[in-house]
Amino acid sequence: MTARILVVDDIAANLRLLEAKLLNEYYEVQLASSGPEALATVQRWMPDVVLLDVMMPGMDGYEVCRRLKAQPGTAHIPVVMITALTDPVERVRGLEAGADDFLSKPVDDATLFARLRALLRMKQVLDAWRLRAETARDLGFEPPPGPSPNVAGARALIVNEDFDEADALTRVLAADGIDVAHCTDSAESWDILMDGQHDVVLLSLSLDGGDALRLASRLRAQAATRDLPVLLVADTGQKGLVLRGFDLGANDHVLRPVDPNELRARVRNQIRRKRYQERLRADLDRSLEMAVTDPLTGLRNRRYVRRHLEGVLRNSGAACLLIDVDRFKSVNDTYGHAAGDVVLREVAERVRGHLRAADVIARYGGEEFLIVMSGATTEDGMLVAERLRAAIANVPMVAEGHALNVTASIGVASGGIGAQSDDVVSAADAALYRAKNNGRDRVEPAVEEDWPPSADRGTPAARQAR
């Protein structure tokens, strides 16, 4: 797994040593010897991970990390602080500044590369979501507010056979308002976590038979738990298991005796990262929904229904109903555009209420609506169209205090498997035009002359029950 690594240290010998190790593993490396240089390099080069010395003159590593995490464009970049300081207070200070982990000098190669692999996997996932969200924003969709830094209300599960330790960990996390559950074996925890409602899981590496690592691996293999942060709780002599855990998908770890403040800081960081990823996913889902939805009626839009029709015609054939509200311009001219909007929304609701769940209705443009009925024939479409015409015409619509008698004209055409969507819609449009000419408030089927001369109407599918 290649990646861009920025190494920041004010001592040249340290820079060259880390550079040699990273180049030997085929990483791309840039060097910076001060905080300001590091910030400038990040903006210019956008590394995948920053290895950051803590003790530097002028601007120390804590300040560099805080500034990176405060900027939306760089907050997602993992930061690993490298320090000779062993005081737990310094680790907590760095974690609260946003660091993802600490490595002690001299840096152990196995630990360094295990952490890099784990952080790079995490960043690849975040980058994919960020890229999609940025594409949506480029199309004009504004993102929702970011997640709150407050982790109160988050849910954690502790998997630990030691009731006393689990109770102590629960009290620590409860200080941040985290709702903590406890179980003693991996089988029970698996059933609990399958609800997809937890924000972090703490796995004790003291579980019998390597169950903790097997559970970590299983969690990464399931869609419901793939993004669930996994934090390992280990003894100081379990370094090999911790590194193996990182390769299997664990996100972080704490060593016994567990420092309460360090645990809180690490768990907070994991929960915030998960919520950030969830926000990106929700942002994308919302943007995708908006991209295929008509904002006035809540129906699908022209782009969506045309793609849907193309897919249906490849597999089962379909009937298309093209609806146009009669004399809609006079509604806007007489009662105003607000009244016209009310009419369009009411038409949409009445039509939607008379369709199958499998039928797709879209606002096709202006006062036109297009319905795609998968597997339906022209006869099927005519029956439904007449029902829709009556639903629109039989009860006046109230708009801006006025009772309006609204009618619609409908053209119906069907295509078999392999028919072209343009041809089917064109035939339905010609039938609609004839309905308008024949007096409006009526349904007309497409006839031979409505189809383009070269149209292939496809292979008729087996008729489905309506």
Confidence of residue 169 (pLDDT cuts 50, 70, 90): very high
Task: Assign residue 366 a region (left: φ > 0; alpha: ψ between -120 and 50; beta: otherwise).
Answer: left
Question: Does 98 have pLDDT greater than 50?
Answer: yes
Residue 47 dihedral angles phi and psi, to the nearest 5°: -70, 165
B/e letters for 126-165, b = 16+ CB within 10 Å, e = fewer, are beebbebbeebeeeebebeeebeeebeebebbbbbeeeeb
Question: Does 280 have pLDDT greater than 80?
Answer: no
Please state, in angstroms and as integers, the Cα–Cα distance from residue 175 to each residue in 21, 311, 406, following that order. 41, 54, 62
Question: Does 457 have pLDDT greater than 50?
Answer: yes
How far is the C-alpha of 77 from the C-alpha of 50, rounded, in Å? 7
Greater confidence, 286 or 7? 7
Task: Please provide the DSSP assignment of 42-71 as one string.
Answer: HHHH--SEEEEES--SSS-HHHHHHHHHHS
Pick from 234, 241, 210, 265: nearest CA to 100:
265
Q: How far apart are the first and last CA of the chain?
A: 54
Residue 232 dihedral angles phi and psi, to the nearest 5°: -90, 140
How far is the C-alpha of 184 from the C-alpha of 174, rounded, in Å? 19
Question: Does 281 have pLDDT greater than 50?
Answer: yes
| Per-residue model confidence (pLDDT) at position 260 | 95
CA 83 to the chain's CA centroid: 36
DSSP reduced 3-state for 22:
helix
Q: Residue 187 CB: number of other CB atoms within 10 A?
A: 10
Residue with tokens 């000098």: 105
| Per-residue model confidence (pLDDT) at position 149 | 78
Tell me what percent of the residues of the chain surpass a pLDDT of 90. Answer: 72
| Per-residue model confidence (pLDDT) at position 193 | 93
Tell me what percent of the residues of the chain surpass a pLDDT of 70. Answer: 93
Q: Give me the chain's average pLDDT, please.
A: 90
Cα torsion angle, 71, 75, 80, 83, sign: positive
| Per-residue model confidence (pLDDT) at position 298 | 92
DSSP label of 162: -
| Per-residue model confidence (pLDDT) at position 464 | 45
372-416 pLDDT tens trace:
999 899 999 999 999 999 999 999 999 989 999 999 999 999 999
Question: Does 131 have pLDDT greater than 90?
Answer: no
3-state helix, strand and coil shares in percent for the chain, rounded to the nearest 5: 50, 20, 35
Confidence of residue 79 (pLDDT cuts 50, 70, 90): very high
Residue type, 32: A
Q: What is the mean pLDDT of residues 119-127?
A: 84
| Per-residue model confidence (pLDDT) at position 140 | 60
Residue type, 257: P
| Per-residue model confidence (pLDDT) at position 245 | 93
| Per-residue model confidence (pLDDT) at position 465 | 41
Residue 139 dihedral angles phi and psi, to the nearest 5°: -85, 0
6-43 pLDDT tens trace:
999 999 999 999 999 999 999 999 999 999 999 999 99
| Per-residue model confidence (pLDDT) at position 461 | 60
User: Is-cis flag, bond preceding 145, omega within 30?
Assistant: no
| Per-residue model confidence (pLDDT) at position 210 | 73
For the chain, domains (ranges, CATH) are 1-136 (3.40.50.2300), 147-284 (3.40.50.2300), 302-450 (3.30.70.270)
Active site residues: 367
| Per-residue model confidence (pLDDT) at position 466 | 42
User: Residue 250: exposed, middle, or buried by beta-carbon count in 10 A (0-12, 13-18, 19+)?
Assistant: buried
436-449 pLDDT tens trace:
999 999 999 999 99
Question: Does 139 have pLDDT greater than 60?
Answer: no
180-231 pLDDT tens trace:
999 998 889 999 999 889 999 999 998 765 788 999 999 998 888 988 999 9
The answer for residues whose C-beta is within 8 angstroms of residue 302's C-beta and 6 or more apart is 362, 363, 364, 365, 370
How far is the C-alpha of 99 from the C-alpha of 95, rounded, in Å? 5
